[in-house]
Amino acid sequence: MPDKSTYEQEIEQEKSDLVQVLGTEQGRRVLMRLINRASVLQPTYASGTHPSDFAFMEGRREMGLFIIGTITEINTDIWLEMQKEDFKNIQARNEKVKHERAKQRNNSD
């Protein structure tokens, strides 16, 4: 069997690195934060949007899609787990905000 090309070795190393990152809660949080920042589920075009803004937003979205695609190539289950973890974090933040607002209302009475 012929030796793997340098390119194939680099791809394998990148996948191995990603497996290590996905193996930690911190790594999954960082990747999810990048994906969320990419506004993957948001439209990139709006009426009146300047073409350069559209191009910027679409480029950012494309990077988020690339990250998701790379994660799902490694393990589709981990992508689903990341979404569940993110949803739990959003719920916890919302509860904290709700509690803080109620506390502020009670203090102002």
Token digits of residue 101: 């607002």
Question: In this structure, is residue 34 part of a structural domain?
Answer: yes
Question: In this structure, is residue 92 part of a structural domain?
Answer: yes
Task: Tell me if 82 sits within 8 A of 31, measured CB to CB.
Answer: yes
Q: Is the four-CA dihedral 72, 74, 79, 82 of positive or negative sign? A: negative
Token digits of residue 64: 């988020």
Contacts of 86 (CB under 8 A, 6+ apart): 32, 36
Residue 51 has pLDDT above 90, yes or no: no
Residue 85 has pLDDT above 70, yes or no: yes
Q: How many domains, in total, are found in the chain?
A: 1
Question: In this structure, is residue 1 part of a structural domain?
Answer: no
The per-residue pLDDT for 1 is 55
**Entry pTM:** 0.78
Q: Please list the alpha-helical segments (H only) found in the chain.
A: 6-22, 25-37, 51-74, 76-108
Question: In this structure, is residue 63 part of a structural domain?
Answer: yes
Task: Tell me if 79 sits within 8 A of 68, measured CB to CB.
Answer: yes
The per-residue pLDDT for 45 is 77
**pLDDT, mean of residues 89-99:** 93
Tell me the residue range of the domain where 17 lies. Answer: 6-108
**pLDDT, mean of residues 64-72:** 96
